[in-house]
């Protein structure tokens, strides 16, 4: 292998990584701009009435607990991302053995299990962050127990389908690469195409939650829309995997 080929093998995947990262950053910035223009993001100090619920919750945190929550978020995201990459790796190994099935149901259960693991790990860390006073203050601002249980079920399903959609999208890119189509171009295109609806849904869900009183029908509608989009991405990715086997 020549030095030029060796350099190309390193540069191309990192160029794809940086391209995907820039796409995500631009989409996130557009999402924040939309929330800014619609007044979802607040910049003023907390007033006495009509305060968004997330502002109230975050105002209770001290500096150290805020940093700890950043770690919790990073931990949960790392676990979720690793689960997606692991499923794609297992699919690649199955391709080596001529097994080209995408297995969307398996992808969903793997995504659900990964989300559950991330939530459990997050709760373990959070249990040592907040004091009894902080927990009591937060609890008074949250919906009732039944609403929280329903929200947890919906959120787990959302995370499971989102993880499955991401996993199957990677599988589709890998399957297309086996046909001689560019893996990195497919990854970049997938990040842009799938990132747009995900950004819109994320903005909608956040906007429906970050209000002075959570509107459960509106929030449920956004989560339902997210489930539909995630399942649609799963179906499209599964179809692409099947076509690549022909």
Q: Which residue has the tokens 């149901």?
A: 105
What is the 8-class DSSP label of residue 47?
Answer: -
Q: Which residues of 119-147 are buried (b: 16+ CB within 10 A; e: fewer)?
A: beebeeeeeebbeeeeeeeeeeeeeeeee
Q: Which residues of 168-187 are buried (b: 16+ CB within 10 A; e: fewer)?
A: bbbbbbbbbbeeeeebbebb
Spatial distance between the Cα atoms of 102 and 91, rounded to a whole number of angstroms: 7
Start-end of H helices in the chain:
3-37, 53-60, 63-96, 104-126, 132-139, 145-178, 183-209, 216-244
User: How many percent of the chain have pLDDT more than 70?
Assistant: 84
Cα–Cα nearest to 205, from 54, 20, 93, 77:
54
Q: Of 46-50, 101-105, 110-114, which has the strongest mean pLDDT? A: 110-114
Output the pTM of the full model.
Answer: 0.83
Q: Are 79 and 117 in contact (CB under 8 A)?
A: yes
Q: Are 193 and 218 in contact (CB under 8 A)?
A: no
**What would the mean pLDDT of 218-245 be, rounded to a whole number?**
89
Geometric angle at alpha carbon 55, from 37 and 73, rounded to 5°: 95
Whether residue 25 has pLDDT greater than 90: yes
**What would the mean pLDDT of 20-45 be, rounded to a whole number?**
86
Report residue 142's pLDDT band, with 50, 70 and 90 as the boundaries. low
Report residue 111's pLDDT band, with 50, 70 and 90 as the boundaries. very high
Whether residue 47 has pLDDT greater than 60: no
């Amino acid at each position: 292998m020549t030095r030029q080929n060796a350099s190309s093998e390193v540069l191309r995947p990192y160029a794809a990584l940086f391209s995907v990262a820039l796409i995500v950053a631009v989409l996130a910035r557009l999402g924040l701009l939309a929330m800014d223009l619609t007044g979802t993001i607040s910049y003023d100090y907390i007033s006495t009435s009509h305060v968004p619920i997330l502002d109230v919750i975050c105002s209770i945190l001290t500096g150290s607990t805020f940093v700890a929550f950043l770690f919790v978020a990073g931990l949960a995201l790392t676990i979720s991302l690793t689960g997606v990459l692991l499923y794609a790796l297992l699919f690649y190994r199955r391709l080596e053995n001529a097994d080209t099935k995408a297995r969307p149901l398996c992808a969903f259960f793997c995504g659900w299990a990964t989300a559950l693991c991330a939530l459990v790990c997050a709760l373990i860390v959070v249990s040592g962050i907040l004091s009894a006073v902080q927990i009591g203050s937060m609890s008074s601002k949250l919906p009732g127990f039944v609403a929280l249980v329903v929200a947890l079920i919906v959120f787990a399903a959302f995370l499971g389908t989102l993880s499955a959609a991401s996993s199957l999208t990677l599988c589709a890119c890998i399957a297309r690469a086996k046909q001689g189509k560019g893996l990195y171009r497919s990854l970049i295109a997938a990040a842009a195409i799938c990132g747009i609806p995900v950004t819109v849904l994320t903005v909608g869900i956040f906007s429906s939650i970050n209000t002075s009183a959570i509107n459960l029908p509106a929030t449920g509608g956004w989560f339902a829309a997210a489930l539909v989009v995630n399942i649609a991405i799963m179906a499209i990715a599964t179809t692409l995997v099947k076509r690549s086997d022909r």
